[in-house]
């Protein structure tokens, strides 16, 4: 987790250097937190022997982040809508929804163990 935070801080430093506004920075931070949390918890199932890879490319117009875990993957379309009435009181399940709400692009690989997210600079 500490290593993930280091990577996140490095990413956010580059975001700041490129002059992204506070809203975009907030969105990127939120999305990366969610993606990494999902990778550790649901992907690698807290197995410390498994790694989470965080790759990013921050440019003047867009920031791209790819988070990959070593889990078996999942089908994001099967994740329940956390905003549905019947799911509102569930403590978990909001990460993917937030990533989609705050980033401009969110897509998973076929296996479901890698998410690629893009935030365009406003």
Partner 1 sequence: MTHQRAYQLDVDVSRVGPAAVVKVRGSAGMNEADLLQAELSQLADEPKGLIVVDMEGLEFICSAGLGALVNAHLKSRDRDGQIRLVKPQARVLKILEATRLDTLFGIFADLDEAITA
Catalog residues that contact partner 1 under the rule CB under 8 A. Answer: 1, 5, 23, 26, 29-30, 33-34, 36-37, 82-83, 88-95, 97-98, 101
What single string gives the DSSP state of each residue in 52-117? -EEEEEE-SSEEEEEEE-SS----GGGS--TTSGGGTT-SS--HHHHHHHHSSEEEE-SSSSEEEE
Shortest Cβ 107–partner 1 spacing (Å): 19
Using CA atoms, how far apart are residues 39 and 19, in angstroms rounded to an integer? 28
Whole-number minimum distance, CB 2 to partner 1, in Å? Answer: 8
Q: How far is the CB of 9 from partner 1 (least distance, A)?
A: 10
Residue that is written with structure tokens 């379309």 in the block: 77
Identity of the residue, 27 or 63, whose beta carbon is nearer to partner 1 in the bound complex? 27
Q: What are phi and psi of 46, to 5 degrees?
A: 60, 15
Q: How far is the CB of 92 from partner 1 (least distance, A)?
A: 6
| Identity of the residue, 7 or 59, whose beta carbon is nearer to partner 1 in the bound complex | 7
Q: Which is nearer to partner 1, 98 or 118 (CB)?
A: 98
């Amino acid at each position: 987790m500490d290593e993930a935070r280091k990577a996140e801080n490095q990413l956010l430093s580059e975001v700041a250097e490129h002059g992204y506004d506070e809203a975009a920075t907030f969105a990127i931070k939120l999305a990366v937190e969610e993606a990494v949390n999902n990778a550790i918890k649901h992907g690698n199932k807290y197995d410390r022997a498994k790694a989470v890879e965080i790759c990013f490319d921050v440019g003047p117009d867009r920031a791209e982040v790819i988070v990959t875990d070593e889990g078996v993957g999942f089908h994001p379309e099967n994740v329940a809508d956390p905003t549905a009435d019947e799911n509102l009181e569930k403590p978990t399940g909001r990460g993917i929804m937030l990533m989609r709400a705050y980033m401009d692009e969110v897509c998973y690989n076929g296996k479901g163990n890698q998410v690629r997210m893009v935030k365009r600079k406003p």
